[in-house]
């Protein structure tokens, strides 16, 4: 059953509050195996895609950057040597278990310029216009209210600041899509064997299918107020990078 407050949780329609709890539960359960699972189901390619995203965000020494839905900290780890000791990175995420894994990893690696903050992307606890750049890597798809989150990102960005979104997307070539679907059909089994979590990886596959297509996400960013929005397909559209600016 659906009502005006219902949102997608994978292929199900659920109440918005319930989606937040369900997504939180997914990441609570997979946090301890999240990094190894990423390597397995992407055959390691997520590392390269994250490097590309960081390169495309144009981060510079001394900047203040928000790693939104930063999870276990891959993006923050790549950004830390770029912004250097005079810069500041804030890893913000709704899920305490994911943050804990990230905090331990980054502190052990000596990335002292990363601060951690637990909160929802829909309601950021930051003043207006403090970040030079915001990155969201594989997070947007999970947000309960994507438009509200994008509006919050716009609010906390400095004028001319950049929002960069790396996310699963939709391949254009039907043969690639068929092969990719076949590959994805193994993810729940891998999730069960490696993380003891079949359902969470079923949600992953469904959430990718339900995520807006490339052009729809570009329009959503423009509707929110981002300017000069463009996107780049990666691996034939299996993933995409969307980049927009605060005018």
Ligand X SMILES: C[S@@+](CC[C@H](N)C(=O)[O-])C[C@H]1O[C@@H](n2cnc3c(N)ncnc32)[C@H](O)[C@@H]1O
Q: Is 113 helix (H, G, I), strand (E, B) or coil?
A: coil
Whose CB is nearest to ligand X? Answer: 71
Q: CB nearer to ligand X: give 143 or 160.
A: 143
User: What's the min distance (Å) between Cβ of 145 and ligand X?
Assistant: 8
User: What's the min distance (Å) between Cβ of 131 and ligand X?
Assistant: 15
Residues 6+ apart with CB under 8 A from 193: none
Q: CB nearer to ligand X: give 183 or 228.
A: 183
Q: CB nearer to ligand X: give 122 or 132.
A: 122
For 61, counting Cβ atoms within 10 Å of its Cβ (0-12 exposed, 13-18 middle, 19+ buried), the class is exposed
User: What's the min distance (Å) between Cβ of 174 and ligand X?
Assistant: 27
User: What's the min distance (Å) between Cβ of 175 and ligand X?
Assistant: 27
Q: CB nearer to ligand X: give 131 or 143.
A: 143
Q: Which residues bind ligand X (CB under 6 A)?
A: 23, 27, 69-72, 74-75, 93-95, 98, 120-122, 137-139, 142-144
Q: CB nearer to ligand X: give 81 or 125.
A: 125
CA–CA separation, 82 vs 185, rounded Å?
Answer: 37
* CA proximity to 28, closest of 68, 66, 72: 72
User: What's the min distance (Å) between Cβ of 205 and ligand X?
Assistant: 13
On the CB side of 171, CA atoms within 13 Å amount to 12
For 74, counting Cβ atoms within 10 Å of its Cβ (0-12 exposed, 13-18 middle, 19+ buried), the class is buried
């Amino acid at each position: 059953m659906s009502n005006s407050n219902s949102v997608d949780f994978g292929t199900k329609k659920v109440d918005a509050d319930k989606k937040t709890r369900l997504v939180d539960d997914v990441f609570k359960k997979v946090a301890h195996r999240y990094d190894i699972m990423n390597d397995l189901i992407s055959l390691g390619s997520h590392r390269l895609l994250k490097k590309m995203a960081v390169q495309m965000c144009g981060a510079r020494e001394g900047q203040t950057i928000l790693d939104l839905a930063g999870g276990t900290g891959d993006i923050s780890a790549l950004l830390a040597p770029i912004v250097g000791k005079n810069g500041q990175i804030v890893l913000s995420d709704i899920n305490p278990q994911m943050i804990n894994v990230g905090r331990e990893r980054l502190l052990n690696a000596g990335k002292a310029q990363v601060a951690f903050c637990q909160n929802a992307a829909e309601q950021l606890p930051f003043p207006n216009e403090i970040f030079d750049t915001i990155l969201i890597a594989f997070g947007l798809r999970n947000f309960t209210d994507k438009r509200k989150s994008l509006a919050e990102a716009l609010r906390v960005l400095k004028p001319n600041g950049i929002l960069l979104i790396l996310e699963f997307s939709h391949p254009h070539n039907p043969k690639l899509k068929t092969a990719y679907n076949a590959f994805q059909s193994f993810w729940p089994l891998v999730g069960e064997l490696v993380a003891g979590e079949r359902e969470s990886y079923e949600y992953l596959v469904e959430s990718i299918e339900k995520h807006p297509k490339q052009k729809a996400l570009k329009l959503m960013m423009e509707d929110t107020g981002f300017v000069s929005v463009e996107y780049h397909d990666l691996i034939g559209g299996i993933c995409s990078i969307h980049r927009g600016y605060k005018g």
